[in-house]
C-alpha cells in the first residue's frame, strides 16, 4: 500500500447495549471505517491490506471494549447503503472529537466543519485507493502546475460527486439544519483570481471524473488576492481571511517536505560539475486537498505548498537579547512567500517575492514528481523512461522555471548529461498560453534572476546558446537581415550579447562595408582587430538590437557615415548620445516554447493568433508543437449543482441525467425548442433563480430590484481590454436618453433592466480602479433617481468569487462578453452563462466565436470590429483620421457635466481621447465600437419583448453549449499532449 495512507481513530459518542454507538456501527460496517478505526493489519499475498482486529473506545472514560474480528468490507459503498442516521452520527462524532470549536452548541458554522470532515473521510479513503492503485501499476500521470486554483465552495460539490446529497441533507435536517445553510458557511478558498484559476479547478474535476491519473500543484496562499470592499471611493482592498477558522478539506503532510534554495553562488567542484551552494533555504510542506470525480471512486489530489524554515533557524540568542524581529526574520522571509497571490511588483522587493513564489511552486513540485517517479520505478528505474511516466503542464508562464529546474535536478543531482536531460525535459513539459497581450507575456529581469537563481540563469544561457545555433543552422547566413529578425524575436534573453561566433557574422559585414569606403581595412588581422574594437565599443555604449532597429544600432545607412561612426566609437573620441541601456530580460514565453514539446492556445481564434502573430516565428520553426485546446467548464458545478431547477428540466426532457457526463446529449434539446410546455417550464426556472438573486442582492448590496426586469450581467476581472467601460458608458447613454423622455415614452422605448457588475481590479491597476469607481457612482445616481424607478438599476456586487457566480449565472438573461476583438484568449464565463440558458452579447473574440457557431448566429447578439481590423483601426487613429461618433462625444460630455457627482473623471475619459501615447488614443477601441454596441442593445430590447422568441434563443444556447465541457477539453489534452489513458479502479 501507499506510504501516504491516512488513518485515524474513532470514538463513539453514545454507548449502546452492544458496546457501539450508531456512529461506530456505521463506521465498522462500511468501507469508510478504515478512516476511523485503529487498524492492526497485515499484508495478504496479493499485497492488499487485510483487517485483522479493531477496537472502539467507548464514551465512558477508561473503558476499552474487547477487540472484535472484522471481515474484509465491501469495496462498494452502494452495497452497504448510506443512511441519514449513520451520516448524522458521523457528523456528531466530528463535532465532538475533531474539534475546531468549543463543545457548547451545534450552530451552522460548527456544523459545516463537522459535515465537511465527515465527507472528507470518504474522500481520503478513495484518495488512498486511487493512488495506491496508480503506484502499483506505475501508470503515466499528468501533473498540472498553476499559480491559481479558484475552487469555490467544496461541500455541495463533494457530496454531489459522491452522490451523497440526499443522505447528508436528511442527516442535517434531523439535526435541525438545512444542507444549503450549512454549505453557505464555507468560505471560498482564496487560491485564485479569475479565469486562469477557475479553468484549473474545472480541469481537476474533469480529470477525476474521467478517471485520468493526474495531480494539481499550487501554493497555499494564506490570504489569496484580497477581499474587495466597495466604498464611496470605489474599490478598497483588505486581506482575505479564508483560513482564519481552518480548512477542513486539507490534509497536512508534514512528512512531505522539500528544500527550496535562493541566492548563493555556483562553483565548479573537482569533478568538473557545477554545484549551487550557500544562500537562503526554506522548506516547502505539502497540504493535500482531495478532488472527487463524479460517480466514480477516483479521487485525485491538489497538492498545495506552504513555506517555512526549520526551528533551528530561529535565533534564540537574538530573541533573548531583545532582538525579536531579527530572531524571527528567517521565518518571516519563508512564510511571506505564501502570504498572498500576486504581491504588488512595483518594488524590487515585490518582484523578488513574486519570483520566489514561482520558483517555490516549480522546485517543490518537480522534486516531488521526481521522488514519486523514483519510488514507483524501484530497482527498474530508467531516466529515459521519465517522459513515459510523467507529463508536466504549465498553466501560463508562471511555472516556466520548471524547465531549468528539471534540467538542474537531472544534471546536478541525478548525474545525467546535458543531452539526456534536455531530451527528457522537452519530452515532459508542455505550455498553455493564455494571452496575446504583450504586457502579459512575462519577462523577468536577468539581473534579478541571476542574483536569486544563479544556477538557473546558467542553464537558461546554455539553452539560449543552443537555440541561437539552431536558428543559424536553419536560416543560414546568406540573408543576414532575415537572420537578425529571427534572432531578435526568438531569443530567450533579450538585450544580451550573441555568442561570439554569431555576432562576428554581422560585425565582419559591417566592418567590411566601412573598409570598402576608406580603403583602410585590407588584411585579415586588421579586420579581426577592427571587429574586436567594434564589439567592445558596442557593448560599452549599450548598443542593443531590437525587432525594428538595425542590428548594430547605427541608424545611418550611408557607408561613409557608418565608417566614421565606427571610428568614433573605437577611438572613444566623443561620448555618443544613445538611449539608456535597455535592461536584460528573460522572456518566459519563449523559454516555454523552446523547452517544451507542445504549445496550445485556448480557443480557435486565439490559437490562430498565437500561430500567425504572437509566436509566428516559432510556429514557422516548430509547426508541430502548436495546437488548439478550446477551454471548457465542468457541467457538474456549473449546471448540475448550481442550477438544480434547470438540471431537473434537462433530465426530464432528455429522459436521462447522462447529459452530466455526456454533454453532447444537450443538443437533443433543439427538437423541443418550440414546445410551449418546455418554454413555460424554462421561464419558471429562470424566474425562480432570479428571485433567489433578488434576495442575495438585497442582502449583499442593500438594493432592491425588480425580478421582472431583464437581468444583464458582466462579471469578470476588471481590465480595460474586457471593456467594462464600454458597458457602463452604454448604460449612461441609456440613462441620458431616458431622462430626455416622458415616463410613458421611457416605458414604451426601453425594457426594464438590472445591470449587474462584478470583478476585482488589481490593487495597483489605477485605471481599472477608476472604472470600478465610475460604475458605483453611476449606480448610486441612477438607483436613487425617482424618474427612472425600476426601469434601470446598476448594481456592483462586491468581492466577486465562485460562490457569487453560482448565484448570478443561473439568474442571468443577458451576459456581456465585449472585449476588444483579438485580445481575449478564450474566456470561460461565457461558457457558463450559455450553459445556464443565458444569451450572450459580444464581439468575435475568444471562445465567443465558437459559442456563436454552436448556438447559432441568430441566437447571439454580435457587434463590433473584428480581430483582423484592429491593427488598421489603431493605425487610422494614430494618423489622426478617426472621427468619433456623435453619441460617444455626447456621453463623455454628459459625464463631465457632473451628472454622477463631483469626482473628476478626466483621467478616465482621457484614455479614450487623443490619437496616440500611453494611456491615450483609445487603444481598446471603446469609441469605435460604441455606436455598434448601442445599436445591438436596441436589438436586445426588441427581442426581449417577445418572450417566446427570447425563450427559444435561451433554450438553443443551452443546447449548443455541449462542446464547452471541460471533459471534452481534458480528453483532448490527454490524447494529444499528455499521452495518458483513463484508469478505473478495480
Per residue in 915-971, pLDDT (tens digit) is 988 889 999 999 999 999 999 999 999 999 999 999 999 999 999 999 999 999 999
Instruction: List pLDDT tens digits, range 887-928.
Output: 999 999 999 999 999 999 999 999 999 998 888 999 999 999
Evaluate if residue 44 carries a pLDDT over 60. Answer: no
> Residue 17: exposed, middle, or buried by beta-carbon count in 10 A (0-12, 13-18, 19+)?
exposed
pLDDT tens, position by position, 140-185: 999 999 999 999 999 999 999 999 999 999 999 999 999 999 999 9
From the list 213, 119, 324, the residue with the least C-alpha distance to 970 is: 213
Read off the pLDDT of each residue in 296-308 and give the average, rounded to a whole number: 98
Residue 438 has what pLDDT?
Answer: 75
What is the pLDDT confidence band of residue 282, given thresholds at 50, 70 and 90? very high
Confidence label for 128 from pLDDT (cuts 50, 70 and 90) = very high
d(CA 394, CA 902): 47
pLDDT of 515 above 60 = no
Question: pLDDT averaged over the chain?
Answer: 87
For position 62, what pLDDT does the model report?
32
Residue 601 · residue 610 · CB < 8 Å: yes
Q: Which residues pair with 235 in a beta bridge?
A: 230
- 15: pLDDT strictly greater than 80: no
Pairing outcome for strands 429-432 and 814-817 = unpaired
pLDDT (tens digit per residue) in 766-800? 999 999 999 999 999 999 999 999 999 999 999 99
What does the alpha-carbon distance between residue 547 and residue 582 come to, in Å, rounded to a whole number? 13
Among residues 516, 559, 567, the alpha carbon closest in space to that of 537 is found at 567
| pLDDT 10s digits, 187-209 | 999 999 989 999 999 999 999 99
Q: pTM higher than 0.95, yes or no?
A: no
State how far the Cα of 981 lies from the Cα of 974, in Å rounded to an integer: 7
What pLDDT was estimated at residue 511? Answer: 52
Tell me what pLDDT residue 509 has. Answer: 57
Mean pLDDT computed over 302-319: 94
> 51 vs 894, which has greater pLDDT?
894
pLDDT at 536: 37
Q: What is the mean predicted confidence (pLDDT) over 22-33?
A: 39
Round to whole Å and give the CA distance between 923 and 917: 9
What does 658-685 look like in DSSP terms, one character per residue?
GGGT-GGGGGGGGGGTT-HHHHHHHHHH
* 407-417 pLDDT tens trace: 999 999 999 99
**Spatial separation of the C-alpha atoms in residues 219 and 287, rounded to whole Å:** 9
Quick check: 23 pLDDT over 80?
Answer: no
The set of residues, in sequence order, having a beta carbon less than 8 Å from that of 589 and lying 6+ positions away, is 397, 400, 431, 433, 441, 442, 615
- Three-state secondary-structure class, residue 46: coil
Say whether pLDDT at 512 is over 70.
Answer: no
Read off φ and ψ for residue 434, nearest 5 degrees.
-120, 10
Segment 837-866 mean pLDDT = 98
- 317-376 per-position pLDDT tens digit: 999 999 999 999 999 999 999 999 999 988 999 999 999 999 999 999 999 999 999 999
Q: Is the dihedral of CA 863, 869, 874, 877 positive or negative?
A: negative
Task: Choose from 6-20, 543-557, 558-572 the range with maximum mean pLDDT.
Answer: 558-572
Active site residues: 434, 716-717, 722, 828, 832
Query: Mean pLDDT lowest for which of 78-87, 424-433, 723-732?
Result: 78-87
> In a 10 Å sphere around its CB, with 0-12 CB exposed, 13-18 middle and 19+ buried, how is residue 418 labelled?
middle
Q: Are 757 and 808 in contact (CB under 8 A)?
A: no
Q: Which of 328-332, 579-583, 616-620 has the lowest mean pLDDT?
A: 579-583
Specify the pLDDT at position 81: 60
Q: What angle do CA 428, 146, 585 make, to 5 degrees?
A: 80
Band (pLDDT 50/70/90 cuts) for residue 579 is low
Q: At residue 547, does pLDDT exceed 60?
A: no
pLDDT category at 132 given cuts 50, 70, 90 is very high
Residue carrying C-alpha cell 525594428: 548
The pair phi, psi for residue 16, each rounded to 5°, is -120, 175
Which cell numbers in the block locate residue 734? 441609456
Q: ∠ CA(777), CA(778), CA(782), 5° rounding? A: 120
Quote the percentage of the chain above a pLDDT of 70: 84
Instruction: Calculate mean pLDDT across residues 48-58.
Output: 32
Look at the chain and count its residues: 986
Residues 892, 659: Cα–Cα separation, whole Å: 48
Check whether 819 has a pLDDT greater than 90. Answer: yes
How far, in whole angstroms, is CA 378 from its chain's centroid? 35
Residue-wise pLDDT tens digits, 225-259: 999 999 999 999 999 999 999 999 999 999 999 99
Q: Is residue 444 classed as helix, strand or coil in its secondary structure?
A: strand
- Per-residue pLDDT, 540: 34
3-state secondary structure at position 704: coil
Question: What CA–CA distance (Å, rounded) separates 846 from 825?
Answer: 5
**Is residue 573 over pLDDT 90?**
no
| pLDDT for the residue 506 | 82
Q: What percent of the chain has pLDDT over 90?
A: 79
Burial zone of 81 (CB within 10 Å; 0-12 exposed, 13-18 middle, 19+ buried)? exposed
CB 243 within 8 A of CB 222: yes
- Average pLDDT estimate for 726-751: 97
Taking residue 290's Cβ as centre, other Cβ atoms within 10 Å add up to 25
DSSP one-letter code for 45:
T
Q: Which residue has the cell 510556429?
A: 619
Amino acid at each position: 500500500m501507499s506510504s501516504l495512507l491516512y488513518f485515524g481513530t474513532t470514538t463513539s459518542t453514545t454507548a449502546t447495549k452492544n458496546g457501539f454507538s450508531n456512529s461506530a456501527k456505521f463506521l465498522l460496517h462500511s468501507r469508510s471505517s478504515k478512516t476511523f478505526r485503529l487498524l492492526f493489519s497485515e499484508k495478504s499475498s496479493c499485497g492488499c491490506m487485510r483487517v485483522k482486529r479493531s477496537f472502539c473506545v467507548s464514551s465512558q472514560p477508561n473503558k476499552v471494549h474487547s477487540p472484535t474480528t472484522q471481515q474484509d468490507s465491501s469495496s462498494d459503498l452502494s452495497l452497504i447503503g448510506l443512511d441519514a442516521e449513520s451520516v448524522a452520527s458521523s457528523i456528531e462524532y466530528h463535532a465532538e472529537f475533531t474539534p475546531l470549536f468549543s463543545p457548547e452548541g451545534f450552530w451552522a458554522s460548527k456544523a459545516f466543519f463537522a459535515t465537511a470532515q465527515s465527507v472528507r473521510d470518504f474522500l481520503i479513503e478513495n484518495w488512498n485507493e486511487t493512488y495506491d492503485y496508480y503506484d502499483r501499476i506505475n501508470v503515466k500521470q499528468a501533473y498540472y502546475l498553476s499559480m491559481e486554483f479558484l475552487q469555490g465552495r467544496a461541500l455541495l460539490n463533494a457530496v454531489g460527486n459522491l452522490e451523497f446529497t440526499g443522505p447528508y441533507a436528511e442527516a442535517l435536517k434531523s439535526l435541525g439544519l438545512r444542507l444549503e445553510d450549512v454549505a453557505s458557511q464555507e468560505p471560498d478558498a482564496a487560491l485564485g483570481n479569475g479565469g486562469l484559476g477557475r479553468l484549473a479547478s474545472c480541469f481537476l474535476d474533469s480529470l477525476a471524473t474521467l478517471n485520468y491519473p493526474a495531480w494539481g500543484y499550487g501554493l497555499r496562499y494564506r490570504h489569496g488576492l484580497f477581499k474587495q470592499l466597495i466604498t464611496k471611493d470605489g474599490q478598497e482592498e483588505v486581506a482575505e481571511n479564508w483560513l482564519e477558522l481552518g480548512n477542513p478539506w486539507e490534509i497536512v503532510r508534514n512528512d512531505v517536505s522539500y528544500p527550496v534554495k535562493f541566492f548563493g553562488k555556483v562553483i565548479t567542484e573537482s569533478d568538473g560539475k557545477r554545484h549551487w551552494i550557500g544562500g537562503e533555504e526554506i522548506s516547502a510542506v505539502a497540504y493535500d486537498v482531495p478532488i472527487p470525480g463524479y460517480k466514480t471512486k477516483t479521487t485525485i489530489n491538489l497538492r498545495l505548498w506552504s513555506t517555512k524554515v526549520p526551528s533551528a533557524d530561529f535565533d534564540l540568542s537574538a530573541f533573548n537579547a531583545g532582538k525579536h524581529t531579527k530572531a524571527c526574520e528567517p521565518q518571516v522571509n519563508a512564510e511571506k512567500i505564501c502570504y498572498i497571490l500576486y504581491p504588488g511588483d512595483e518594488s524590487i522587493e515585490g518582484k523578488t517575492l513574486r519570483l520566489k513564489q514561482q520558483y517555490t511552486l516549480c522546485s517543490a513540485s518537480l522534486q516531488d514528481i521526481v521522488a514519486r517517479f523514483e519510488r514507483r520505478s524501484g530497482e527498474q528505474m530508467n531516466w529515459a523512461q521519465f517522459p513515459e511516466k510523467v507529463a508536466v503542464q504549465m498553466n501560463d508562464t508562471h511555472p516556466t522555471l520548471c524547465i531549468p529546474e528539471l534540467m538542474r535536478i537531472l544534471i546536478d543531482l541525478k548525474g545525467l548529461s546535458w543531452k539526456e536531460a534536455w531530451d527528457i525535459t522537452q519530452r515532459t513539459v508542455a505550455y498553455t498560453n493564455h494571452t496575446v497581450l504583450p504586457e502579459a507575456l512575462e519577462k523577468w529581469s536577468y539581473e534579478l534572476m541571476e542574483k536569486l537563481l544563479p544556477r538557473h540563469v546558467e542553464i537558461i544561457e546554455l539553452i539560449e546558446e543552443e537555440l541561437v545555433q539552431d536558428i543559424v543552422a536553419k536560416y543560414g547566413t546568406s540573408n543576414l537581415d532575415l537572420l537578425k529578425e529571427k534572432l531578435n524575436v526568438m531569443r530567450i534573453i533579450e538585450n544580451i550579447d550573441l555568442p561570439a561566433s554569431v555576432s562576428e557574422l554581422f560585425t565582419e559585414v559591417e566592418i567590411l562595408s566601412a573598409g570598402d569606403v576608406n580603403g583602410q581595412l585590407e588584411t585579415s588581422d586588421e579586420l579581426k582587430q577592427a571587429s574586436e574594437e567594434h564589439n567592445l565599443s558596442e557593448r560599452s555604449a549599450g548598443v542593443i538590437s531590437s525587432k525594428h532597429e538595425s542590428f548594430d544600432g547605427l541608424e545611418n545607412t550611408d557607408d561613409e557615415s557608418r565608417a566614421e561612426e565606427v571610428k568614433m566609437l573605437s577611438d572613444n573620441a566623443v561620448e555618443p548620445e544613445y538611449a539608456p541601456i535597455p535592461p536584460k530580460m528573460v522572456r518566459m514565453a519563449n523559454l516555454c516554447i523552446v523547452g517544451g514539446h507542445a504549445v496550445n492556445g485556448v480557443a480557435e481564434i486565439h490559437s490562430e493568433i498565437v500561430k500567425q502573430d504572437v509566436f509566428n516565428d516559432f510556429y514557422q520553426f516548430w509547426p508541430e508543437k502548436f495546437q488548439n485546446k478550446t477551454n471548457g467548464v465542468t457541467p457538474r458545478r456549473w449546471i448540475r449543482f448550481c442550477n438544480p431547477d434547470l438540471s431537473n428540466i434537462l433530465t426530464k426532457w432528455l429522459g436521462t441525467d447522462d447529459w452530466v457526463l455526456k454533454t453532447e446529449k444537450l443538443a437533443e434539446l433543439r427538437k423541443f425548442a418550440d414546445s410551449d410546455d418546455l418554454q413555460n417550464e424554462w421561464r419558471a426556472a429562470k424566474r425562480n433563480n432570479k428571485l433567489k438573486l433578488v434576495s442575495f442582492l438585497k442582502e449583499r448590496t442593500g438594493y432592491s430590484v425588480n425580478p421582472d426586469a431583464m437581468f444583464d450581467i458582466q462579471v469578470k476581472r476588471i481590465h480595460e481590454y474586457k471593456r467594462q467601460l464600454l458597458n457602463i458608458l452604454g448604460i449612461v447613454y441609456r440613462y441620458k436618453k431616458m431622462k430626455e423622455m416622458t415616463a410613458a415614452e421611457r416605458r414604451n422605448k426601453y425594457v426594464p433592466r438590472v445591470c449587474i457588475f462584478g470583478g476585482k481590479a488589481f490593487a495597483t491597476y489605477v485605471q481599472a480602479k477608476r472604472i470600478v469607481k465610475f460604475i458605483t457612482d453611476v449606480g448610486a445616481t441612477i438607483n436613487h433617481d425617482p424618474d427612472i424607478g425600476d426601469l434601470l438599476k446598476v448594481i456592483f456586487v462586491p468581492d466577486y468569487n465562485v460562490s457569487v457566480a453560482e448565484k448570478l449565472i443561473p439568474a442571468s438573461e443577458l451576459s456581456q462578453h465585449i472585449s476588444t476583438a483579438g485580445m481575449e484568449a478564450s474566456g470561460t464565463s461565457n461558457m457558463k452563462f450559455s450553459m445556464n440558458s443565458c444569451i450572450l452579447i459580444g464581439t468575435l473574440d475568444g471562445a465567443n466565436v465558437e459559442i456563436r457557431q454552436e448556438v447559432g448566429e441568430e441566437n447571439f447578439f454580435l457587434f463590433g470590429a473584428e480581430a483582423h481590423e484592429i491593427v488598421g483601426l489603431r493605425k487610422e487613429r494614430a494618423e489622426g483620421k478617426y472621427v468619433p461618433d456623435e453619441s460617444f462625444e455626447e456621453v463623455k460630455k454628459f459625464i463631465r457635466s457632473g451628472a454622477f457627482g463631483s469626482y473628476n473623471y478626466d483621467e478616465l475619459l482621457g484614455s479614450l481621447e487623443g490619437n496616440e501615447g500611453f494611456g491615450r488614443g483609445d487603444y481598446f477601441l471603446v469609441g469605435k465600437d460604441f455606436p455598434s454596441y448601442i445599436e445591438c442593445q436596441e436589438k436586445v430590447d426588441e427581442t426581449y419583448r417577445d418572450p417566446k422568441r427570447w425563450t427559444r434563443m435561451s433554450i438553443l444556447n443551452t443546447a449548443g453549449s455541449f462542446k464547452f465541457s471541460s471533459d471534452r477539453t481534458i480528453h483532448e489534452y490527454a490524447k494529444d499532449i499528455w499521452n495518458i489513458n483513463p484508469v478505473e479502479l478495480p
